[in-house]
Amino acid sequence: MSSEVAAPPVAPVAVETPTLDLIIEGLAWLVLGIVPLMINVFNVDAYRTVQATYSTIFIILMAAAWGISVTLTGRWSEVRRLPFVPALAGFALWSLLTWVFTSPSKPVSAESWVNLVLYMLFFFLLSDLGARRPGLLWRLCVPLFVAFSFNVVTGLLQHKAFMFLGMTRDGRYTGLFDLWPIKTTGAINYFAGLQAPSRLSSAAGTLGNQNVLGGYFSATIPLFLVLPVVLIIAWPRLSGALLSRYKGMQEGTANFALGVALLLLTANAVASLACLLATDTRGAWLGVIAAFGLGVLVVPAFFKEQLSRVSRRTWTRVAIAGAIALVVLTSLAAAAGITPTMLRNKVADTWTVQQRLVAWEVAAVMAERNPIMGRGLGTYKIYYFRDLAHLFDGKPHFFGLVKADTRVPIYMHNRYVQAHNDFIQQAAEEGWPGLFFAVGILVAFWLSIPRYIWRRRPPPTEGLLLMASLLGTFGLCVFGLTNFPFHIAASSTAWTTIAAFAGAALWSERRPAVQAQLAATPRISMPLEARWALSGAMGVFAFALIVFTYLPYKADMLTKQGMELYQHGRVAEAGQALRRAIKLDPERGDARLVLGIVYALTGDFPAAEHQFIRCQTSYDDVTLHYYLGRVYEAEHKWTEALSEYRIAQSYFPESTDIGKVVAARLKALEATLSVAPGAPAGTAAALASGSVTAAASPAQPAPAPAAPPASR
């Protein structure tokens, strides 16, 4: 017997990836600092704006770099135990099933599902990186601060001097804003729109829509109210860090630098509240108030020991600072034209409340029709008009918010792309189980933060950051009850990042135990060559995903170009642009609608009919059914034409311009096809079968409105 002892197998050497970590952090800076400042070209589809496209691309690159890093270091067994991985993976699987089994348009639902998974990965990678690099989370506050400050300042200026959604605000410039040099309300103003060919005026970053800006504030205001307090608490440590890093710095210089930072943070926090009022967005007000209320309940309970150490002198200073901040806030609000009368009138105005209630009820009808699996991700905008018409069929429906009636109100004539309530829309698209699944994850996440603070007793700076995470995510979810912040890149990336502040803390607590458990468990390591091969495959997949993310965005630009050309009478050029758009994105329904109109105007009725019918898998609109009815008339398909006109009439009240056009055409066709007294007995049957030729069938459809109605 040989006396040699077999040597244990040598595990592959782990490869450290600090460069990839730096790349991931740099991309995070781009997402948080640049995306909220990008031009948000009209928000008809929240996944096809400039803002959404580039945030998705940046997150894809981050996810690929993170996956490669995890693969090269062999940390998959560790990473798969990140907090909430099983719950979020289960939710993603449920969302995938609703897409596969219920969606009428698989590409549209796939786009929504990919975005959902990407934001989950965004949370995981920031949590993992934040646990391994503790300074990351604090550094990410810098790009958040830049974007936040920009939107605060321009939001206040825009409230008085510029436009929201292309609508001028009445009244003269007041206070500080009288000194602002640019007082035009025309499209040449950068903040007003950059002459974008859109039905809603675009603007800088989140300022394209006051509701979008309000949602962004709902998530970020709690953080930027906490940061000045954190700076005060950490002042001695930060001053020491500055002196140790910069050897020639004097103590007075270090304190001066920290004082400037404190002044900027405090001024920014106060101005943000004035800008929040200026947005006129009651849902955002409600979200921030809810966050404040939760903070009043939770913070004293978990920081009782620290608060008890605060001297009376310190509390006096806090009270004085609060009074000064209140005066400054009131002055800023008054300078922006925000008065108690304006706020009171805004709260009392129920016009938008009525719209919201109807939009919610439409979502509830969708959920009622398919309560288990929903109608499929991203399909609210597809089913909106038909379920709106079903809602007003004179029968009571799920919530009973809308009185039984048969007339669609005029204020619902826009095509609602979102339900203006992300939670009810989730029930509509993923069923009630999907909604309960998501809410359960949120509640578990919120409960985990105070549990962590109670169990670990972290330093006040870390504890306050975790509280900001709790309050910011909660406030935006409250705002999500009245709007759609999770469909907007600026607010959803901010929300996910702030949530990851807590995710990193939860993971750092578990990570040592998980590492010890994994070290005690024998496992087969992947060979280094296989790691590199898998990393290369991730890179290729990420590149393909970026291409397929960018193509629909390019199709969106071509669609807008085609609509603009059509409205200016350049029909042939419009057709070329729209065909290019459809080639890039076959599910671009509004492009198919306008291309169908172009074909109809040039007399190619079979091609127009094909586009209108193909359009309906991803788009539904009153003009679609009107023009399809006109095409059927031109093809002598009378029964089909009548059916399309009646569908269009059910979508819009007769008092609208489009409704009048549809009603007039329907009346004319019914009069033409009516059977006179004494007509041959077979005429009615022939009419029902569609074989009778109308006396006055059009050579081509006459145009109704020049473009589909605006979306909300």
Alpha-carbon span 289 to 499, nearest angstrom: 19
For residue 316, the tally of other CB atoms under 10 A from its CB is 10
Q: What is the pLDDT of residue 457?
A: 84
More confident residue, 160 or 621: 621
432: left (phi > 0), else alpha (psi -120 to 50), else beta? alpha
* 117 and 251 co-located in one domain: yes
Instruction: State pLDDT tens for residues 642-692.
Output: 999 999 888 877 777 788 888 888 888 888 877 444 433 333 333 333 333
Average pLDDT over residues 426-430: 94
CA distance 179 to 496: 38
Give the Å distances, CA to CA, from 155 to 37, 142, 169, 207, 263.
12, 20, 14, 7, 20
Residues 474 and 346 in one domain: yes
- Give domain status of residue 7, yes or no: no
Using one digit for the tens of pLDDT, what is the confidence trace for 196-206? 333 333 344 45
- Sign of the dihedral through C-alpha 124, 125, 131, 135: negative
The pLDDT confidence band at residue 84, using thresholds 50, 70 and 90, is very high
**H or E segment and range at residue 346:** helix 340-348
482 and 577 both lie in a single domain: no
User: Does one domain contain both 204 and 129?
Assistant: yes
Express each pLDDT in 594-609 by its tens digit.
999 999 988 899 999 9
Coil vs helix vs strand at 139: helix
**DSSP letters for 497-518:** HHHHHHHHHHHHHHHHHHHHHH
Whole-angstrom distance, CA of residue 698 vs CA of residue 668: 12
Percent helix, strand and coil across the chain, each to the nearest 5: 70, 0, 30
Q: Which amino acid is at 241?
A: A
pTM of the shown model? 0.85
* Tens digit of each residue's pLDDT (9 = 90 or more) over 536-575: 999 999 999 999 889 988 898 888 888 888 888 889 999 9
3-22 residue pLDDT tens: 444 444 444 444 467 889 99
Same domain, 457 and 568: no
Are 370 and 429 spatial neighbours (Cβ–Cβ below 8 Å)? Answer: no
Question: Does the residue 474 lie in any domain?
Answer: yes
Instruction: Give pLDDT, residue 186.
Output: 34
Stretch 240-258: mean pLDDT, rounded?
86
Question: How many angstroms separate the CA atoms of 433 and 431, rounded?
Answer: 5
Backbone dihedral region for residue 569 (phi beyond 0: left; psi -120 to 50: alpha; all else: beta): left
Dihedral pair phi/psi, residue 163, rounded to 5°: -130, 150
Give the CA radius of gyration of the chain. 29
**Residue 376 within a domain:** no
Q: Can you tell me the mean pLDDT for 518-524?
A: 72
d(CA 510, CA 390): 51
Residue 77: inside a domain = yes
Residue 171 reports pLDDT greater than 60: no
Question: With bands split at pLDDT 50, 70 and 90, how would you rate the model's confidence at 251?
Answer: confident
Residue 566 sits in a domain whose CATH number is 1.25.40.10
- Token pair in block for residue 133: 């690099």
Token digits for 502? Answer: 């807590």
pLDDT recorded at residue 499: 97
Cβ-contact 501, 473 below 8 angstroms: no
User: If residue 271 lies in a helix (H) or strand (E), which one and from where to where?
Assistant: helix 251-278
What residues contact 25, with CB distance under 8 A and at least 6 apart?
129, 133, 136, 139, 140
Q: Are residues 508 and 558 in the same domain?
A: no
Residue 224, pLDDT score: 92
The enclosing H or E element of 705 equals none
168 and 205 inside one domain = yes
Query: The dihedral of CA 46, 48, 54, 60: what is its sign?
Result: positive
| pLDDT at residue 179 tops 60 | no
Q: What percent of the chain has pLDDT over 70?
A: 79
| Domain identity same for 583 and 645 | yes
| Length reported for the chain | 712
Whether 413 maps to a domain, the answer reads: no
What tens digit of pLDDT does each residue of 112-124 get? 999 999 999 999 9
The Cα 381–Cα 89 span in angstroms is 26
Q: Are residues 495 and 561 in the same domain?
A: no
Left, alpha or beta for 400 (phi > 0: left; psi -120 to 50: alpha)? left
> Is 476 in a helix, a strand, or coil?
helix
pLDDT for the residue numbered 306: 65
Instruction: Answer for the pair 324, 266: CB distance below 8 angstroms, yes or no.
Output: no
The verdict on residue 546 lying in a domain is no
Beta carbons within 8 Å of 65's beta carbon, 6+ residues apart: 20, 23, 24, 27
Is residue 623's pLDDT more than 80?
A: yes
In a domain, 615, yes or no: yes
Under a CB-based contact definition with an 8 Å cutoff, are residues 22 and 30 in contact? no
467 pLDDT more than 50: yes
The CA distance from 324 to 386, in Å, is: 54
Q: Based on the number of CB atoms within 10 Å of its own CB, is 285 exposed (0-12), middle (13-18) or buried (19 or more)? A: buried
| pLDDT beyond 50 at 187 | no
Q: Are residues 236 and 170 in the same domain?
A: yes
Q: Could you give the CA distance from residue 564 to residue 525 in angstroms, rounded to a whole number?
A: 58
Averaged pLDDT score across all residues of the chain:
80
pLDDT at 433: 95
pLDDT at 372: 92
What is the average pLDDT across 291-299?
Answer: 88
Tokens of residue 679, six digits: 């007509």
Instruction: Give me the domain span that covers residue 43.
Output: 18-350+419-525
- At residue 176, the pLDDT reads 41
DSSP element (H, E) containing 365: helix 351-369
**H-helix or E-strand spanning residue 164:** strand 163-164
CA distance 697 to 605: 13
pLDDT of residue 492: 93
Report yes or no: 20 and 69 within 8 Å, Cβ to Cβ. Answer: yes
Q: Is the model more confident about 501 or about 310?
A: 501
- Residues forming beta bridges with residue 563, ordered by sequence position: none
The total domain count for the chain is 2
d(CA 108, CA 378): 6
Span between the terminal Cα atoms of the chain, in Å: 83
Q: Strand pairing partners for 163?
A: 168
Q: Worst-scoring range by mean pLDDT, 78-87, 349-358, 614-623?
A: 349-358
Tell whether 167 and 115 lie within a shared domain.
yes
Residues 616 and 517 in one domain: no
- Name the domain boundary from 507, 525, 543: 525
The answer to whether residue 204 is domain-embedded is: yes
Q: Per-residue pLDDT tens for 305-355?
A: 666 777 777 778 778 877 887 888 888 777 766 777 777 777 767 777 888
